Structure 1
Amino acid sequence: MDVSTYVLLSHEQALRRRLDVTANNMANASTVGFKREQPVFHEYVEQSGDPSVPSAATTSYVLDYGAIHDTSMGAFQSTGNPLDVMINGPGYFGVEAPGGGDAAYTRAGFIKILGSGDLATAGGQRLLGDNGKPINVPPEQQVNLSIASDGSVMSGTNVLGRLAVTVFPDEATVSPRGDGLLAGSAGRVLSAAETKLTSGGVEGSNVQPIVETTAMVDILRSYQTSQRLGQAMDDLRKNAIDRLGRFT
């Protein structure tokens, strides 16, 4: 295989990665709190030691560098449930990770009360307070429960705890765990003054289906172009071999 084939293969691998990310965005267009992803690619340039053609001294390849989240907010979706909340601005709700270990994170604000009295997500993961522990609501105080804009969990005028909203200095460190939650490191819990929540609804996905559909069409056309280039190079090689064969 010559260098040109490797270059095309690196390009097609990048297109495959773009397709996977775009398809995942489309699949989560209605997932509460989902943030669309965008793949990031870097150029890798290989230096040739003694190229026969000076202009071919470097060869450029496409390298997958990962994916970043689009942090723009999704639309507010009213649910009528006073326990459901949306984060206005950056940050994630901290929850107990399934199986233990470090905390996991989510933007999905569906909140329910477990049989134990602990507040939890729709998936059953217990929400963490700003002290790093679950928030428990005694049975007698579950009737008039509400969540204030600073994250305080209120039963009438009694404060039972405050939801932890964690921000990260670099969103690139926040990545999907594979179970509907996110993993992150070096996060900071916002203070009450910094926390801005809206109760009575949740944040919708920020995926725009039309944009993702357009991206998929662009990926398809790019792949078709790459295939045509590969076929053209194969034809050139065959013609070269046929001509060389006439001199032997």
Structure 2
Amino acid sequence: MGSDVSTYVLLSHQAALRRQLDVTANNMANSSTVGFKREQEVFREHVERVRRAPIEDAKRLSFVLDYGQVHDSRAGAFQATGHPLDVMIDGPGYLSVEDASGATAYTRAGFITLLTNGELGTPSGAPLLDENGRHIAVSPEEQGSLAIAGDGTVSTSAGPIARLAVTQFDEMRVNERGDGLLTGAGGRLLPAAETRLRSGGVEGSNVQPIIETTNMIEVLRAYQRTSEAAANIDTLRKLAISRLAKPD
């Protein structure tokens, strides 16, 4: 480690604060997005020891490392829509959909509609998947009696036809895609006994704008303090160089 270690430590802190600011701003931008889960940055401390330092305690250097981010799993408020097919997942898990590439993606936004081909899907046209990974098709004559039970069972007057797939993840393994859907790895398909859906509405965002605004102010203040510390160190460094450059 070079002698200018203080600069590296401050830079690691500033980079972490910049990332935290980006996450907070994204939370605020999605405070009205149905099914959005507040994100929170996860940082870890990296400790490195140097061989030489003015005092013993200075040999132990602590850097801030960006480890990733997690979703706040707390549920948002129920928002009634008056549409009987809309559902809110009352508990953990995500609905499974098939994206345009044929891959499986996930969402908490429970807007459910009948696509033009008679399949259940999202308003954007992504087909919903059942617990076997298949599309859920409803015959034209049965569409008027379509209903979704609390355990995800889709039925008509003719009886059950499928069950919505609800998959639970470790929140560290769920990531935003940027198109309103998420990717996930290592999920567990919830059985009917563990699936809880509430019909007639959707889940609102669990972001609280006042808290995010407070967080943003704190991050900006911390960034300002770090910048001031970096400027002070730079001033001291220039002063030391100028004194060393003077002849005795």
TM-score range (shorter-chain normalised) is over 0.9
The alignment-based identity, stated in percent, is 59
AA aligned opposite 1:207: V
Q: 1:237 to 1:50 in 2, by over 3 A?
A: closer
Supply the distance in 1 between the matched residues of 2:106 and 2:228 (Cα, whole angstroms). Answer: 44
AA aligned opposite 1:17: R
Matched, 1:40 2:42: yes
How much has 1:247 moved relative to structure 2?
2.7
Worse overlay, 50-59 or 108-117: 50-59
- Count of matched residue pairs: 246
The Cα offsets for residues 122-166 of structure 1, whole Å up to 9 and x where unpaired, read as: 221110011110100111111121111111112125212111111
AA aligned opposite 1:69: H
Supply the distance in 2 between the matched residues of 1:80 and 1:15 (Cα, whole angstroms). Answer: 42
AA aligned opposite 2:188: R
Q: 1:100 aligns with which of 96, 102, 116?
A: 102
Worse overlay, 17-26 or 50-59: 50-59
Partner of 1:123: 124
Supply the distance in 1 between the matched residues of 2:239 and 2:29 (Cα, whole angstroms). Answer: 45
The Cα offsets for residues 20-68 of structure 1, whole Å up to 9 and x where unpaired, read as: 0000000000000000000001111112134453222121111100001
In structure 1, runs of 5+ residues without a counterpart are none
Matched, 1:158 2:159: yes
Supply the distance in 2 between the matched residues of 1:171 and 1:217 (Cα, whole angstroms). Answer: 26
How much has 1:15 moved relative to structure 2?
0.5
Partner of 2:110: 109
Partner of 1:143: 144
AA aligned opposite 1:150: D
The Cα offsets for residues 8-27 of structure 1, whole Å up to 9 and x where unpaired, read as: 11000000000000000000
Worse overlay, 91-100 or 16-25: 91-100
Supply the distance in 1 between the matched residues of 2:226 and 2:167 (Cα, whole angstroms). Answer: 43
AA aligned opposite 1:89: G
Supply the distance in 2 between the matched residues of 1:157 and 1:213 (Cα, whole angstroms). Answer: 51
Runs of 4+ in 1 over 3 A off after TM superposition: 50-53
How much has 1:69 moved relative to structure 2?
0.6
3-state SS in 1 of match to 2:216: helix
The Cα offsets for residues 165-214 of structure 1, whole Å up to 9 and x where unpaired, read as: 1112x221111122211111221211112111110000000000000000
Tell me the TM-score normalized by structure 1: 0.95
In structure 2, runs of 5+ residues without a counterpart are none
Tell me the TM-score normalized by structure 2: 0.95
Partner of 1:174: 174
Supply the distance in 1 between the matched residues of 2:30 and 2:138 (Cα, whole angstroms). Answer: 32
Supply the distance in 1 between the matched residues of 2:201 and 2:97 (Cα, whole angstroms). Answer: 19
In the TM superposition, 1:79-98 aligns within 5 A as 79-98=81-100
Supply the distance in 1 between the matched residues of 2:59 and 2:85 (Cα, whole angstroms). Answer: 63
Matched, 1:13 2:43: no
Partner of 1:2: 4
The Cα offsets for residues 94-141 of structure 1, whole Å up to 9 and x where unpaired, read as: 11133123x111000000111111100122111001111010011111
Supply the distance in 1 between the matched residues of 2:38 and 2:202 (Cα, whole angstroms). Answer: 17
Matched, 1:231 2:227: no
Supply the distance in 2 between the matched residues of 1:154 and 1:38 (Cα, whole angstroms). Answer: 38
3-state SS in 1 of match to 2:28: helix
Partner of 2:28: 26
Supply the distance in 1 between the matched residues of 2:212 and 2:132 (Cα, whole angstroms). Answer: 40
Aligned partners of 2:142 and 2:158 also within 8 Å? no
Q: 1:187 to 1:204 in 2, by over 3 A?
A: same
Supply the distance in 1 between the matched residues of 2:217 and 2:99 (Cα, whole angstroms). Answer: 37
Aligned partners of 2:152 and 2:164 also within 8 Å? yes
3-state SS in 1 of match to 2:26: helix
3-state SS in 2 of match to 1:93: strand
CA RMSD of aligned residues (A): 1.3
AA aligned opposite 2:110: G
